[in-house]
Structure formats: C-alpha cells, structure tokens
C-alpha cells in the first residue's frame, strides 16, 4: 500500500529556510495531489499547501509569501520550502496524499509519520 | 481563513455514543460537502475516518458516522471502545482550492 516518509533537518535557525522532502512508495505520484500539513506543539492541524505532478500548486494564504513546493516525479518525491522561519513555525510537519484524484481533493490519506522541525538558534 | 471550531474535549463510557461538532462558516463547512474527519493517536499519523461529510473509507467501522447541518458538521461515534480514545480533527474545503482544519477534540473513554 502507499506509504509516505518525510525527511529533512530537525532544527532550523530563525530567519533561515525550512526544507523538507516527502518520498512516496507503493503508488504513482502522477495520480493524486500531494499535500503538506503541520501541527505546532499543543495546537491543531494547519493545511500548508498541495502540489500536483504537473507542478500545479496552491497554498494557505497565510503562508503563501513564504512557501515554495516542487515535485520530482522520477524520484517519486515532493518538497516543501518555507522561508524566513520563526519560532511560530516550530511544528510536526506531515506530508499526505490528497485524493481521490481526477482533479479533486476531498480527503488527505494516508499521511506520513511526521517530522518535528524546531526553529531555534 | 480561520480554523474550524471544535470542542476541546468530550468523553463517554464504553458502549455509549459521543458526538463531536465542527463549526465553520458558509464559506467552508456550510458551503461545500467536503468535510472530512481524522483520528490521531499520540505519536501516530492522522487517519481518515470520514470524507464528503458522511462517507466512510474502507476499513473504518460503521460505528463512526458523519453529518452536517448548516455551518456545523458532526462526527458521531457509537458503541464507544477504549481504542477510540484519541484526538479528532475536522477539515473542510474553504474555496479557492484551500482547506481548513479544526482545532481538534480530545476524546476520553471513561
């Protein structure tokens, strides 16, 4: 079955760029949309954005100016970059498949295990 | 785009039913039938429990059901079991190809 795995640094300094990659296994990256979602400590989930294999993206208006997403279909990976990070960006970052496909997103499933990124000097 | 409003916590005894509400606006919950619910155990990845307001993915017990009235969606868990103790999050399409989550509800099985 499809599995997703996030990877990237667990510690990022303030004002620097957070970079994460999600590797997809067990499914074609070209069928679905793929999304990033985060959860700050003790808080709820926040949708960050999605990317399609074609490179089409959209993201949360509150993060739009700082977010860049990309996809590498040959490696079955998609990536997130978040610039000018602050302590408020400390969170567990999840990648998730966004389905059901065919140009629509009705759900996020499955999710990766998540990776904690701490912003601190 | 504001987070959807969920109660911080709910509780119930084994065998009972509980309902978790998720209140948004006419721009998200009330405007579309794209509400989904996720179960999250500590240290685990969220799991899809309900999508399109009331549809259950394969493998999710029929004890879990979803509904919507106006700007409020609800998740009902009947026949509560110990393993249902978890955090639950709602999510809704919010227009312009964006999505918004709720703040989460902690379910305690007494």
The residue of A35, A44, A114 whose CB has the most chain B CBs within 10 angstroms, and thus the best one to mutate to test that interface, is A44
For tokens 């400390």, the residue is A90
For tokens 């999510």, the residue is B91
Across A3-103, the runs of DSSP E, i.e. the strands, are: 3-7, 11-12, 18-25, 33-39, 46-51, 57-59, 67-72, 77-82, 91-101
* Three-state DSSP class for residue B84: helix
Output the pLDDT for position A102.
Answer: 73
Of all residues in chain A, the one with the smallest CA distance to B48 is A109
Output the pLDDT for position A103.
Answer: 75
pLDDT (mean) for A37-65: 94
Decide if B103 and A43 are in contact by the 8 Å CB cutoff. Answer: yes
CA distance A114 to A4: 9
Q: Does A114 touch chain B (CB under 8 A)?
A: yes
* Three-state DSSP class for residue A87: helix
pLDDT (mean) for B7-31: 97
Q: Residues A59-118: pLDDT tens digits?
A: 999 999 999 999 999 999 999 999 999 999 999 999 999 988 777 889 999 999 999 999
Q: Give bridge partners of residue A34 from the DSSP assignment.
A: A51, A97
CA distance B74 to B67: 5
Decide if A47 and B45 are in contact by the 8 Å CB cutoff. Answer: no
CA distance A74 to B68: 41
| Mean of per-residue pLDDT scores for chain B | 96
Q: Residues B50-67: pLDDT tens digits?
A: 999 999 999 999 999 999
Q: Give bridge partners of residue B55 from the DSSP assignment.
A: B51
């Amino acid at each position: 079955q499809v599995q997703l795995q996030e990877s990237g640094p667990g510690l990022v300094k303030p004002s620097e760029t957070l970079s994460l990659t999600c590797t997809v296994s067990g499914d074609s990256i070209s069928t679905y949309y793929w999304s990033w979602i985060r959860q700050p400590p003790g808080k709820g989930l926040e949708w960050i954005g999605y990317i399609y294999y074609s490179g089409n993206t959209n993201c949360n208006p509150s993060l739009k100016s700082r977010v860049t997403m990309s996809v590498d279909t040959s490696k079955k990976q998609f990536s997130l970059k978040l610039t000018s990070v602050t302590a408020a960006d400390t969170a567990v970052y999840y990648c998730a498949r966004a389905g059901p496909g065919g140009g629509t997103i009705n759900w996020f499933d499955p999710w990766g295990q998540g990776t904690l990124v701490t912003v601190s000097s | 785009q504001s987070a959807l409003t969920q109660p911080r916590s709910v509780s119930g005894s084994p065998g009972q039913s509980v309902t978790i509400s998720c209140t948004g606006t006419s721009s998200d919950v009330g405007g579309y039938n794209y509400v989904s619910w996720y179960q999250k155990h500590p240290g685990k990845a969220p799991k899809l429990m309900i999508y399109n307001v009331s549809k259950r993915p394969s493998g999710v017990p029929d004890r879990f059901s979803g509904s919507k009235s106006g700007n409020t969606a609800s998740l009902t868990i009947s026949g509560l079991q110990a393993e249902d103790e978890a955090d639950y999050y709602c999510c809704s399409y919010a227009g312009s190809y964006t999505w918004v989550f709720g703040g989460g509800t902690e379910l305690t099985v007494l």
